[in-house]
Amino acid sequence: VTPRLLVVGTGLIGTSIGLAVHGEYDVQLTDAETSRVREAAGRGAGRPWDGASVDLAVVAVPPGRTAATLMEHAGVARYLTHVASCQSAVAADLETADTTRICGGHPLAGREVSGPAGASAELFYGRPWAVCRLPGTSDEARDAVHALAVACGAQPLHLSPGDHDRAVALSSHLPQLAASALAAQLLASEAASVGISGPGLQDTTRVAASSPELWTEILAGNAAHVAPLVADLAGDLGRLADALAVLAHDPADAAARTSVEALLRRGNDGRARVPVKRGVLDRDVAVVRVRIPDRPGSLAELLAAAGGAGVNVEDLRVEHLPGRRTGVAELLVQTGQTAALSAALGGAGFEVLGGADPR
């Protein structure tokens, strides 16, 4: 028999869950705003809730309303979970409740857009999905959340609410604030100076487009873990500013140079820890760059040649350049496959540029 899933809150995450599992689950949808239920249902995420009991309810509302929304639906669902970015705050809000049938969850996926229109069945594919048992959570409730994560294509990771919150403070909340604070600095300048920029500015500020309302709630819920990290980052940057102020007067000052270079080196080491995908570190992948004629069909030929050689292209970027007849494609592949790919593309008449550089 098909299990019944109730999605409470049909924003980006809730709607994406419905899109991902409909077919495996009988998905019903509810939201404080009826128009959002209609929009999510119209996209194929499920049908409006008929009010009957379900096997699992997933509460996908902003963190501050998560615990209350869980309690409101405790009578209509056998098991309940949520998707909040902070687990301990939700657990604290539930303190006096019976949590036997409740298990925390958090898909490490998201976009800098919100609402059902941005939802996607593939949002969770290959991403970690934290499954965070509360002290009272039963094995059955935990298994129900694990199964939902698997049905979404995610990789369930079991960890405590505290361990989860410490981890995301560093890997998600701190980067958000660094990007926002950096982007905020751009307001101090004339727009023209931002035009004189390379690709680095684009990457480092992308997530600064995220929703301020949602992120204020996320950060308020995990402030105890985030605050000391932000203070550490501010301290490092403050010391860096001091060293640069010394270099402004004497560019050769050895102590100041050593201080700046040491931070850049620590940045190298930290960056080497960042997975390109889960389990794949930077050093395991390489980029093959190829010149492509800027006309319809040439990129298709390129990929056909790669496929013919049996090479799995992990990622591909192409840049069409203004006023030029050619462009450049960058294919990201496992390090061991660069030679085979280069040979195959060369054999198909493409000009391979540069070869294999770590990205």
- The two beta strands, 155-158 and 77-82, are unpaired
Minimal distance, residue 306 CB to a second copy, in Å: 7
279 binds a second copy (CB under 8 A): yes
Task: Specify the residue, 27 or 54, whose C-beta has the smaller distance to a second copy.
Answer: 27
Minimal distance, residue 23 CB to a second copy, in Å: 14
CA distance between the termini of the chain: 48
Task: Specify the residue, 68 or 272, whose C-beta has the smaller distance to a second copy.
Answer: 272
Q: Which residue among 119, 134, 149, 285 contacts a second copy (CB under 8 A)?
A: 119
Q: How many residues bind a second copy (CB under 8 A)?
A: 154
Q: Which residue among 167, 293, 334, 348 contacts a second copy (CB under 8 A)?
A: 167
**x/- map, 54-93, a second copy, by CB under 8 A:** ----------x------------------------x----
CA–CA dist 293, 297 (Å, integer): 9
Minimal distance, residue 77 CB to a second copy, in Å: 26
CA–CA dist 282, 285 (Å, integer): 6
In single-letter form, the type of residue at position 35 comes to: S
Task: Specify the residue, 64 or 136, whose C-beta has the smaller distance to a second copy.
Answer: 64
Residues 248-267 contacting a second copy, CB under 8 A: 248, 251-252, 256-257, 260-261, 263-267
**∠ CA 48-117-315 to the nearest 5 degrees?**
125
CA–CA dist 349, 74 (Å, integer): 63
Q: Could you tell me which residues come within 8 angstroms of residue 106 by beta carbon, excluding any fewer than 6 positions away?
A: 83, 84, 85, 87, 129, 130, 132, 164, 168
Find, among 145, 152, 148, 144, the residue nearest to 127 by Cα: 152
Residues 175-234 contacting a second copy, CB under 8 A: 175-189, 191-198, 200-210, 212-213, 215-216, 219-221, 223-224, 226-234
Q: Does residue 314 contact residue 334 with C-beta atoms inside 8 Å?
A: yes
Minimal distance, residue 203 CB to a second copy, in Å: 5
Minimal distance, residue 71 CB to a second copy, in Å: 18
Residue range at the interface with a second copy (CB under 8 A); choices 27-35, 65-73, 141-149, 295-303: 295-303
Q: Tell me the DSSP string of 261-311.
A: HHHHHHHHHHHTT-EEETTEEGGGEEEEEEEEESSTTHHHHHHHHHHHTT-
Minimal distance, residue 330 CB to a second copy, in Å: 10
Residues 307-336 contacting a second copy, CB under 8 A: 307-308, 310, 312-324, 326-328
Minimal distance, residue 74 CB to a second copy, in Å: 23
CA–CA dist 272, 162 (Å, integer): 25
Which two three-digit tokens encode residue 276?
């390109």
Minimal distance, residue 51 CB to a second copy, in Å: 29
Residues 122-151 contacting a second copy, CB under 8 A: 122, 125-128, 130
Residue 167: how many CB atoms within 10 A of its CB? 16
